[in-house]
Amino acid sequence: MNYKVNLIQKFKNKESKISIIGMGYVGLPLSLNYAKNGYQVTGIDIDSNKVELINSGKSYIKHISSEIINNYISNSYLKAKSDFHEISNSDAVIICVPTPLNIHREPDLSFIRNTLDNLKPYLKKGQVLSLESTTYPGTTEEELLPLIESKNFKVGEDFFLIYSPEREDPGNKNYTTTNIPKVVGGITKNCCDVGVALYETTIKKVVRVSSCRAAEMTKLLENIHRSVNIGLVNELKPLAEKMNIDIYEIIRAASTKPFGFEPYYPGPGLGGHCIPIDPFYLTWKAHEYGMHTRFIELAGEINKSMTSYVLEKASDALNSNNKSIMNSKILILGVSYKKNIDDLRESPSLEIIQLLLNKGANVSFSDPYFKTIPKSRKYNFAIDNVEIKPQNISSFDLVILATDHDLFDYDIIKESSNLILDTRGKFTPSDKVIRA
């Protein structure tokens, strides 16, 4: 049997079955994209609550509607499971699990390794396995390839192994799974051919690269580019302030240049599952080659320092009103890592809350996407959620705008606040509005 030709034909005819492991901000949209295009999709997640919600046609991600999930569940294009048995019936297996850093800023591949242990018994000849989780160059060869070879499969002949980095931007209405170009690299040319066939029927543009390492490095470059440039404007922000220059005005003016400049904006720190984490995957791997990636690490240090900068500015703002952080009532506006989404991963707001609590502040929050702040590996807050009303806002000594959701009523916030610390450049500086 020509496994390559058979698989490619199955993908083109939409006769293939797809299993996607990890039903988070990457895996769920990808599953829905395949279901929308007529594929039979099984979403696999060890979180039984997510599985139950999907099978009930309910969404747990704000920008994905329950109606869409229910539609594909009802017509049997999508189902969810918490076990891995369905892998044996699948033509393609796509891994979309987290790749965090440990406390030493070293790659934590435990989610990938546990997934590989779970799916190993169900792999068979004639399948393609794709890793989408962001990781260092060499992971596919070093972690996945030995597993396939241990089953006596011949990669590129009777089994196909690829790496195709996720490029999701939660909450972005202009760019979705369908129209964001997909980079694909394979262990062999045959692997890459199959990988391109896997994705090209549901994604408008597929970009082939020479190897899995090249695809892995591509993803890291994308996020390092953003980290370094955000680090640059974060470094310039306090300098511009001391020079009595509005950094946002400067960015707007520079953006009028039609070539050679791309705007990046300062903030209270970096959040999300990519930019604060991914650059350090390459930093860690560079040590294996005797290299020290100083530029990447410096940007990381600057971006990480911004939460402390916000704390310092909060202290200065309160001091100007003859108050200290201790026992002051402080309201944090926005706890997700960026505007208009319900994602808390690596959110700088959480670090700011912790720093304020450590200083003895009485902290509350307001966020239209969260009623409470769920417990995480690093944080466990039991603080009040405050509705945006004049009488509520006016009761706080300081309001810190950390995430500039469009759903906030900024007129009420500005008119009712005693003192505002603006980390997003949303308000014009005044006697009661201080930039941070």
Q: What is the pLDDT of residue 27?
A: 97
pLDDT in tens, 296-345: 999 999 999 999 999 999 999 999 999 999 999 999 999 999 999 999 99
Tell me what pLDDT residue 188 has. Answer: 98
Confidence of residue 168 (pLDDT cuts 50, 70, 90): confident
Confidence of residue 378 (pLDDT cuts 50, 70, 90): confident
Q: Using 50, 70 and 90 to split pLDDT, how confident is the model at 278?
A: confident
Give CATH superfamily name and number for 3-210. Answer: NAD(P)-binding Rossmann-like Domain (3.40.50.720)
Distance CA 342, CA 369 (A): 5
Q: Which amino acid is at 348?
A: P
Q: What pLDDT score does 101 carry?
A: 85
Identify the residue whose tokens are 């997934």.
115
Residue 225, CA distances (Å) to 55, 229, 255 in order: 39, 6, 17
What is the model's pLDDT at position 206? 98
What is the rounded distance in angstroms from the CA atom of residue 40 to the CA atom of residue 11? 11
State residue 248's pLDDT score: 96
How many C-beta neighbours within 10 Å does residue 210 have? 11
pLDDT score for 162: 98
Per-residue CA distances from 380 to 7, 182, 350, 373, 376 (Å): 47, 37, 10, 8, 6
The arithmetic mean of pLDDT across residues 412-422, rounded, is 97
- Using the predicted structure, report yes or no on whether residue 389 has a pLDDT greater than 90: yes
Which pLDDT score, from 0 to 100, does residue 102 have?
83
Q: What residues act catalytically?
A: 274
Domain limits, CATH 3.40.50.720, in the chain:
3-210, 211-436
Q: Can you say whether the dihedral through the CA atoms of 223, 225, 231, 236 is positive or negative?
A: negative
CB 271 within 8 A of CB 348: yes
Chain segment 343-370, per-residue pLDDT in tens: 999 999 999 999 999 999 999 999 999 9
Give yes or no for residue 80 having a pLDDT over 90.
yes
Q: Find the mean pLDDT for residues 35-61.
A: 96
In the structure, what pLDDT confidence band is assigned to residue 170 with cuts at 50, 70 and 90? confident
Residue 377 has pLDDT above 90, yes or no: no
pTM, 2 dp: 0.92
Q: What digits encode the pLDDT tens for the residues 190-249?
A: 999 999 999 999 999 999 999 999 999 999 999 999 999 999 999 999 999 999 999 999
The pLDDT-based confidence of 272 (bands split at 50, 70, 90) is: confident
- Rounded to the nearest integer, the mean pLDDT of the chain is 95
Which among 37, 32, 82, 40 has a CA at the least distance from the CA of 57? 32
Confidence band of 160 (pLDDT split at 50, 70, 90): very high
Considering the four listed CATH numbers 3.40.50.360, 3.40.50.720, 3.40.190.10, 1.10.287.890, the one that applies to the domain covering 211-436 is: 3.40.50.720
Contacting residues for 199 by C-beta, under 8 A, at least 6 apart: 164, 182, 184, 206
Q: What is the mean pLDDT of residues 31-39?
A: 97
Residue 274 pLDDT greater than 80, yes or no: no
Q: Please say whether the beta carbons of 84 and 118 come within 8 A.
A: yes
**Residue 24 structure tokens:** 């988070």
pLDDT over 90 (residue 146):
yes
List of E strands, 71-205: 78-81, 92-95, 128-131, 160-163, 182-186
Residues 98-109 have pLDDT tens digits of 999 887 788 999
> What is the reported pLDDT for 60?
94
Q: CA-to-CA distance for 124 and 311, rounded, in angstroms? A: 54
**Residue-level pLDDT at 43:** 98
Average confidence (pLDDT) over 268-288: 85
Question: Distance between CA 282 and CA 85 in Å, rounded?
Answer: 34
